[in-house]
Amino acid sequence: MAQLDRLLSVMISNRADSLVLKEGEAAALIVEGQTRPVTKPLTAPQMIALLKEIATPQAAAQLDAKQPTKFRYSSEDSVFAVRAMLQGEMVVVNIVVDDAGEF
């Protein structure tokens, strides 16, 4: 089981709209427009390591190259759309349930 699966399970059980990871900040659930921190602040290497456990090989290579990427991930709880990007020099990740079959 990937470490990120625990956070994704919390996301599903709380019926969150998304899980947001921002470098230097706590991972947070977005529930009805409200931000709920669920971890201690994360570093960019921690975030990349979490993502690489679930990323496709192509997405992992893009993460290593600090390029924006998006991919689909299936866990026991649901199917998720994962987007990772840079805002300036900061890594930002947004994870949502892939209800629309985006991928």
User: pLDDT tens, 66-82?
Assistant: 899 999 999 988 999 99
For residue range 25-75, list pLDDT tens digits in order.
Answer: 999 999 999 999 999 999 999 999 999 999 999 999 999 888 999 999 999
d(CA 61, CA 31): 31
Residue 51, phi then psi, degrees to nearest 5: -70, -40
Q: Which amino acid type is present at position 38?
A: V
What domains sit in the chain, N to C, each tagged with a CATH number? Answer: 4-97 (3.30.450.90)
- CA 91 from chain center: how many Å? 11
